[in-house]
Amino acid sequence: MQYQPDASRYDEAVAPDGSVRQGWRVLSAALASVGVGELAERQRQADRMLDAEGAGHLVHDLTGRGVASRPWRLDPVPMLIEQAEFDLLARAAAQRVRVLEAVMADLYGERTLVRTGVVPAAEVAASPSLRMSAGLQRPARWLVQHAVDMVRTADGTWRVLGDFTDSPTGLGYALLNRSITARVMAEPLRAAGTSPVGVAAAVLRRALAALAPTGRTDTRTVVLSGGSEHPSYVEHSYLAVQMGLHLAEGGDLVMRQDRLWLRALGGLEPVDVVYRRLEDAGLDPLEPRAQGVNGVPAITWAAQRGGVVLGNAFGTGVGEIAAVQQRLADVAGALVGESLLLRPYAGEPLATTPVYDAAQGLVPGRVVLRLNTVVGPDGIWVMPGGAGRVLADGDHPAAPTAERTKDVWVVGGARSGRAEAGVSASTATAQAAAVQQVDFGASVPKRAADALYWMGRAAERAEVAARAARVVGAQVEQDPYLVTLAGGGWAMGAVALLRSAQGAPQRSDAVDGAPLAEVLQRELAATRATVAHQVSSLVNEARSVREYLSTTTGRVLGRLARVVSDLVRTDAAVDDLDLILIDLAALAGLATESTVRGPAWRFLDLGRRIERGIALLGSVEAAVGQAVDPLAFQPLIEAVLAANESLVAYRRRYRSDVELHAVVDLLVRDDVNPRGLAFQLDRLREHLASLAWPEGGALVEQAVRATFADLDDVVVRGRRLSVDGLVLAARGPLLQLDAAVVARWFADPVNPMVLGGR
């Protein structure tokens, strides 16, 4: 493979004499066997997988500091670090953790650094990162997680760019990257003898659990995120899933009587440890100099009074400020009596490492290495791997931008990532525990149940709209004369069907003026837009409850998001709709077959069943809502059956021309047709019984009575009116049930508002 670095700069792969360095020998052989052409395909695979994790279109940048976002792309070619070299870097990272832990304890405690003038008081106090209240009650441990950026300079030595102590990102991204390279670069990963990193989630989980206040049993840790708008949300959600912990947003938690509580379906449940992914500034809106209202009001009160433990502790952002970072060498001397193992970066030219380029194969690139450390009960653990940020031309290494990221492989040693005190063998057990699925039988935050409910509704509505557009579109394609059939009777019915699928009101003037064919195309486009809109809602809701969904579900959602963006761009209707219907069917199948039957699943299914019932009644109403010539009635009612996925069932059962009473039987009353109303009502009955919610159950019984009322009893002016009556009588309780679900289970108002005084 052609790769020619500048011989005047240190290169990770090639020595100045042109020979390939030790670690790279195996990898370059493996890369050669993969082939440069194939690397392009691996790159595409990696992009697709990142998409599936929601990362392709969500990740903004590594630290989210107001720098323009670039899409997250993973270089299939890793950055290699030899074990011996990694050991040095790990010792340096661990040393910085010890120094910074001492810095926090001092700045919020004795302040010897200030007293002796090592760090000027005014400079520290000028920074909003010094949180005055953090010193009131000092935590047992300030840092549970830390990250550090390092670069190798052109002369071959490693330098430090800076530490991340507030709410460091990187560990989750490194795991995410590895999960992808493990698939797209499986052979090279194995051949190079790469240290595994998967234990990180277990190490972190154990470190967090160890923070729990003494004397508590069955403690609960939650991951506190800023929500899907937070630049690092993908990492929050990924880590929560990997650790098997609840992903909570500010509104899910409430501080009362010095304790922190999770708002769960069953009431308030205590929380013992919070892995905060919100920065100091956003953690508690009551704090002076707080920003935004995504945090939890008074969470710092509970932390100061020992009701909950935060990891990292509140106030750790002070470790990142210039007043500390620029003097870290003196600080290390003053506080721990050590000299720093690595010197700070001072603008020197950087070394190069091979980066994949679609046009040129491998080219020399500049990379910033981020190492992640976890401080647990057994000491400081440095993850044997990490993430590399490939710098674009002109990027300063300290700016948090990345053109692409690299997975970092530590090679040439069989040891794990221990740096100082090791991680005991029990982490192997912890690892097994950490890969468990979230326990669906356990508590569910109200917000998650809310999101799952709307996910179910959006998925069903998307399916209804896609199927209606698919059926009507295909009918017109096959027989354009349908539009004018029976004086436009079919077309008007089809328009009504499409509008009901959109959830739009029926309008008597829908076909006024414009030619019918035009109106029909307009409604088809509007129905496709409904599909796109509902799929977007589905993907958005799903994003906030990722820990309840399987990885496969994530992939299907990623695909749906892509297909939908095509749907609104192009007119290629029928085929695209088929693709969407297949993905939606996959989603429904995953919900049935790959989801534990706990309260979370029930709310997902509750949403789906209510939506399906309402949509089905809407389609029946649309088909019979107007007087239609018998000629038009036949294709129209077939469309209704097909839109409800029941045409085949109908033909198998009745083997006759379609007749309204038989259609009503199949779609409304037949309790073995999974697309029928009676079937939905049975499922609703089960869910509400399981939730022990009689008020909801009563509404379902009302709908059941309406469904099975004798149609002959309500015939007044002909058959259509009687079906109308049925639709109205059955739909009312379903709409009420929807409102009741929201009011009973989700309607905790949780917008925090900050109030000033004078």
- Where do contacts with other proteins occur on this chain (CB under 8 A)? 111, 114-117, 120-126, 128, 132-133, 135-136, 254-258, 285-286, 288-289, 293, 297-298, 301, 748-758
Q: Which is nearer to other proteins, 108 or 679 (CB)?
A: 108
Residue 352 is given by DSSP the state B
Nearest distance, CB of residue 120 and other proteins, angstroms: 7
Nearest distance, CB of residue 84 and other proteins, angstroms: 44
E strands, 58-143, in order: 74-82
Tokens in use for 626?
């107007």
Q: Which is nearer to other proteins, 287 or 463 (CB)?
A: 287
- b/e per residue 586-605 (b: at least 16 CB within 10 A): bbbebbeeebeebbbbbbbb
Q: Which is nearer to other proteins, 136 or 358 (CB)?
A: 136
Q: Which is nearer to other proteins, 134 or 383 (CB)?
A: 134
Dmax over Cα atoms in the chain, in whole Å? 97
Amino acid found at 117: G
Nearest distance, CB of residue 124 and other proteins, angstroms: 8
Q: Which is nearer to other proteins, 291 or 552 (CB)?
A: 291
Pairing of strands 404-411, 385-390: antiparallel
Nearest distance, CB of residue 225 and other proteins, angstroms: 18
Nearest distance, CB of residue 297 and other proteins, angstroms: 4
Q: Which is nearer to other proteins, 286 or 474 (CB)?
A: 286
Residue 350 is given by DSSP the state B
Nearest distance, CB of residue 220 and other proteins, angstroms: 20
Instruction: Scan for tokens 């697709």, then name that residue.
Output: 48
CB 671 within 8 A of CB 680: no
Nearest distance, CB of residue 61 and other proteins, angstroms: 24
CB 642 within 8 A of CB 666: no
Q: Which is nearer to other proteins, 446 or 731 (CB)?
A: 446
Q: Which is nearer to other proteins, 134 or 148 (CB)?
A: 134
Q: Which is nearer to other proteins, 398 or 747 (CB)?
A: 747
Nearest distance, CB of residue 136 and other proteins, angstroms: 7
Nearest distance, CB of residue 21 and other proteins, angstroms: 49
- Going by C-alpha positions, the residue among 387, 389, 373, 385 that lies closest to residue 409 is 385
Q: Which is nearer to other proteins, 235 or 252 (CB)?
A: 252
Q: Which is nearer to other proteins, 114 or 363 (CB)?
A: 114
Q: Is 53 exposed, middle or buried (0-12, 13-18, 19+ CB in 10 A)?
A: buried
- What is each CA distance from 472 to 223, 512, 524, 576, 674, in whole angstroms? 47, 20, 8, 14, 22
Nearest distance, CB of residue 58 and other proteins, angstroms: 27
**Contacts (Cβ under 8 Å, ≥6 apart) of 648:** none
Q: What are 343's strand-pairing partners?
A: 159
**Contacts (Cβ under 8 Å, ≥6 apart) of 302:** 255, 258, 259, 260, 308
CB 453 within 8 A of CB 746: yes
170: left (phi over 0), alpha (psi -120 to 50) or beta: left
**Contacts (Cβ under 8 Å, ≥6 apart) of 411:** 23, 26, 27, 80, 81, 82, 83, 192, 193, 194, 195
- Going by C-alpha positions, the residue among 374, 15, 330 that lies closest to residue 208 is 374
Pairing of strands 343-344, 353-357: unpaired
Tokens in use for 525?
């486009």
Q: How would you write 389-452 as a 3-class SS string?
A: EECCCCCCCCCCCCCEEEEEEEECCCCCCECCCCCCCHHHHHHHHHCCCCCCCCCCEHHHHHHH
- Going by C-alpha positions, the residue among 99, 110, 194, 112 that lies closest to residue 146 is 99
Q: Which is nearer to other proteins, 106 or 547 (CB)?
A: 106
Peptide bond into 540 cis (omega under 30): no
* DSSP assignment string, 172-230: HHHHHHHHHHHHHTHHHHHHTTPPP-TTHHHHHHHHHHTTSPTT--S--EEEEE--TTS
Q: Which is nearer to other proteins, 10 or 301 (CB)?
A: 301
Nearest distance, CB of residue 60 and other proteins, angstroms: 24
Nearest distance, CB of residue 755 and other proteins, angstroms: 4
Nearest distance, CB of residue 226 and other proteins, angstroms: 16
Nearest distance, CB of residue 112 and other proteins, angstroms: 10
Q: Is 735 exposed, middle or buried (0-12, 13-18, 19+ CB in 10 A)?
A: middle
Q: Which is nearer to other proteins, 718 or 756 (CB)?
A: 756
Q: Which is nearer to other proteins, 130 or 600 (CB)?
A: 130
Nearest distance, CB of residue 258 and other proteins, angstroms: 7
